[in-house]
Chain A
């Protein structure tokens, strides 16, 4: 089985505990289900059983939030070992991580903290991604972040940074269009124009999510419907890159499953329309 090559398009949703029963009973038509890898760093039990059950019916995307690839601490080998074990057990279609750091000096903030887009960061991340791909024996996808602060000493745009990282390591990009949009508003650039920095071949997955306006900036809360500007960005991305596995991402204030399925159907319709027009 080579699940990694099986998933090249289609729409998925996050599988979250309050929806387990309904998903297993209804078996909605979805290309994949995505979970946070760290929630399944378990030996066994009910949650692991649910994931294995989901795996029987769906392709699975393992989305990591804690590997802290960009930390100047040494690579968290113990964390990577747990991920490798989970990948071996679930045989996911996609494995992704965030381009971020989560802690330094042994302390972890369990958050997705932004990195300066410098040659130094690029070299560190390229080395780490090479090691992770070697350990997992597969291509991984790395995701662009939403950020609320901008590093003065960045030497290139985020998208130029992502493109170079993909070229150096052969990793794929998990393009989070909500994150790109949030950053475009927070830091004042044209998100659609930045899509032009990326090679279509490097884009392995797309995330769509909602955000919230807080004071003078947008915060990536994953707790709202996808916004209209992000849907427009998705249309442009589908036109430019072709259809890609696309996730409706929703983590806080989880709504009824129906809401997620409705958002997924909207994404699917856009992808098919853009493919027909291409």
Chain B
């Protein structure tokens, strides 16, 4: 398989770096200028595919920075972090980290966390549908055993903590907002991402609730997660949180 492999390695190199195009004249018909122009079509497709995937996962980041600038971001990100899968819905998981290190968006310090929130929303959109579950089974657990309960949160549930008002920023970009474009930039917000049927919901949750849910999502039993949360947040109210989560069908089972 040497010839095909050599051809593809040269082709890939020329797509990633135009300076490598001359090596393709050995493989492709036409003069150097023609080969260069034709490969440019594929090079543009490569950047456009990455841009479409990122725009689909992070539409609010795109609205914030504008289409043209977003296209440039996609080009930069694709250059350093090309796709490794034929399934583009997987592409962009490290885009928030890229934004955190990108000097030209430093004046938008909330952008990486906003992208993290959007990535969580993107994952939640295609997450498994939550199975039917009767929350009363939780009440039937022997009180002695309750601290060992590991909650199963509905697929797609995520916590995205941030020192910036990311929930507010995300919400005012959804359309159908309250018409008030004011943002309290001093607010820290912890985004709770949940799936309600087929709809993905994003809400701001308290630091205590965020701490507990993050620990519980990581697989910690109820007792440990609650103790760790109370140590940092003495006002944490586990019963109230569970009441809300169960009523909103955010939990879909448990293990002991």
Contacts and interface: CB of A to CB of B under 8 A. Distances in A.
Interface of A: 38-39, 41-49, 65-68, 70-72, 76, 78-79, 82, 101-111, 113, 115-116, 118, 120-121, 124, 148-153, 187, 214-217, 219
Contact of B1 (A120, A150, A214): A120
A39 B89 CA distance: 7
B86 A67 contact: yes
20 contacts: A43-B126, A43-B128, A46-B198, A47-B125, A65-B86, A66-B85, A66-B86, A102-B86, A103-B83, A104-B5, A106-B84, A109-B82, A109-B83, A111-B46, A111-B49, A120-B1, A120-B4, A149-B24, A187-B29, A215-B37
A1 to B, nearest CB: 24
Contact of A49 (B5, B11, B156, B198): B198
B64 interface: no
B125 A46 contact: yes
A149 B126 contact: no
A108 B85 contact: yes
Given A45-B127, A148-B41, A152-B27, A110 B49 contact: yes
A219 B41 CA distance: 9
B198 to A, nearest CB: 4
Interface in B129-163: 129, 155-156
Contacts of A108: 82-86
B227 interface: no
Given A42-B125, A110-B50, 17 more contacts: A38-B86, A38-B88, A43-B126, A44-B155, A45-B129, A45-B156, A46-B198, A66-B86, A104-B8, A105-B12, A110-B83, A115-B4, A120-B1, A120-B3, A148-B41, A151-B7, A151-B29
B42 interface: yes
Contacts of A38: 86-89
Contacts of A219: 41
Chain A to chain B: the 7 pairs with minimum beta-carbon distance, closest first? A66-B86, A42-B126, A43-B128, A44-B129, A72-B5, A46-B198, A110-B49
Q: Main secondary structure on chain B at its contact with chain A?
A: helix
Q: Size range of the interface on B?
A: 35 or more
A113 B42 contact: yes
Contact of B86 (A43, A68, A148, A153): A68
Contact of B4 (A65, A72, A78, A79): A72
B9 interface: yes
Contacts of A110: 46, 49-50, 53, 83, 86, 88, 91
B243 interface: no
B28 A152 contact: yes
Nearest to B16: A107
Contacts of B41: 148, 214, 217, 219
A82 B87 contact: yes
Contact of B125 (A45, A102, A116, A118): A45
B27 A66 contact: no
Contacts of B12: 103-105, 107, 109
Nearest to A41: B87
Interface of B: 1, 3-5, 7-9, 11-12, 15-16, 24, 26-30, 34-35, 37-39, 41-42, 45-46, 49-50, 53, 82-89, 91, 124-129, 155-156, 195, 198-199
A144 to B, nearest CB: 17
Nearest to A38: B87
A82 B169 CA distance: 35
Contacts of B9: 104-105
Given A45-B195, A118-B4, A107 B50 contact: no
Contacts of B4: 70, 72, 115-116, 118, 120-121, 124
A79 B199 CA distance: 27
Contacts of B7: 116, 151, 153
A176 to B, nearest CB: 17
Contacts of B46: 109-111
A226 to B, nearest CB: 21
Contacts of B24: 149
A148 B3 CA distance: 20
Contacts of B38: 148-149, 217
B16 to A, nearest CB: 8
A104 B127 CA distance: 29
A121 B28 CA distance: 16
B198 A45 contact: yes
B89 A43 contact: no
Contacts of B29: 149-152, 187
B42 A148 contact: yes
Contacts of A215: 37
